[in-house]
Amino acid sequence: VVSAVVGSLSYLVAQPTSQTPAVGASGAIAGVIAAHLVLYPGATLGSVAPVLFLSVVESTPTLLLLLLWLATQVFSSVASLTTSTGIAWWAHVGGFAAGLVLAPVLRKRRMAR
């Protein structure tokens, strides 16, 4: 929930004159993605890669995938400063940042129990 709120606030700060409402769960989802990155840094994800006419299943580090995803979000966020895209890119970036900050705090709190 905190990631959703931080994501919405990030959008409002980055796009203060926007007439487009920011409705959605993308900030919260980005926070969960960031928390996964913090809590499981060595995790891998099975991915299918097409090779010629075959499909090859490979184990890809989630760190790589998530950093590529984050790069596209930051690039799109910066690009959206000069044009309206109808997508709250800054909500994604803000939610991700909140997840990065909150995950270690919540992990310590959970371990203390």
Q: What is the pTM of this model?
A: 0.79
**For residue 62, how many other CB atoms are within 10 A of its CB?**
17
87-to-5, 26, 33, 45, 106 alpha-carbon distances in Å? 16, 10, 18, 27, 29
Q: Tell me what pLDDT residue 51 has.
A: 77
Q: Tell me what pLDDT residue 3 has.
A: 94
pLDDT along the chain (113 residues), means of 10: 92 84 86 93 85 80 90 89 80 94 86 66
| Contact criterion met (CB below 8 Å) for 92 and 16 | no
Please name which of 24, 27, 17 lies closest in space to residue 82, comparing C-alpha atoms.
17
3-state helix, strand, coil in the chain (%, to 5): 60, 15, 25
27-to-31, 76, 91 alpha-carbon distances in Å? 6, 15, 5
